[in-house]
Amino acid sequence: MFIPYKYKYLDTSKLKKSTDKVFSKNWKKLPNGKWTIAGEKSSWVKDGNKWFYPDSNGLLVENDWITTSGKWHYLKAGGYMAENEWVSYKNKWYYAGSDGAIVTNKWESINGKDYYFNSSGDLLVNTVVDGYNVDTNGVKIK
């Protein structure tokens, strides 16, 4: 059986160590190259320690935005949700928090630096927010 794993195929028949990770869901690659998870549509699916979202047709969403429960999430190449990481999209920067939701309307401390994200989740740069200057990298100047 072959399953997607980090942009490659993993031949589960060749696993030798008990620590090797195997996805538990029933993955299927379609002739058009898209992936589907059997029986899953328009809902979050956790497989191993990653979250995925098949669309209303059951196709895995990749390299695209979705909104659920009023929060934006970015699904990366491979279909898994961005979590605790920067997302670059169309020359703008966003940050996906620990729950995978894009940070909006607030200051966020990331690796000891403070950044401000607007209502669309865009990182603000070269501006003043709440009386603080923000530099070209979006870092609050104290």
pLDDT 10s digit of each residue in the chain, 142 long?
333 433 333 333 333 333 333 345 677 888 888 888 777 888 888 888 889 999 998 889 999 999 998 999 999 998 999 999 999 999 999 999 999 999 999 999 999 999 999 999 999 999 999 999 999 999 999 8
Residues 67, 14: Cα–Cα separation, whole Å: 38
pLDDT value at residue 2 = 35
Write a three-state SS string for 68-117: ECCEEEEECCCCEECCCEEEEECCEEEEECCCCCECCCEEEEECCEEEEE
Q: Distance between CA atoms of 2 and 27, rounded to whole angstroms?
A: 8
Give residue 25's pLDDT: 62
pLDDT of amino acid 47 = 82
Model pTM score:
0.76
What radius of gyration do the chain's Cα atoms show? Answer: 18
83 with 98: CB under 8 angstroms? yes
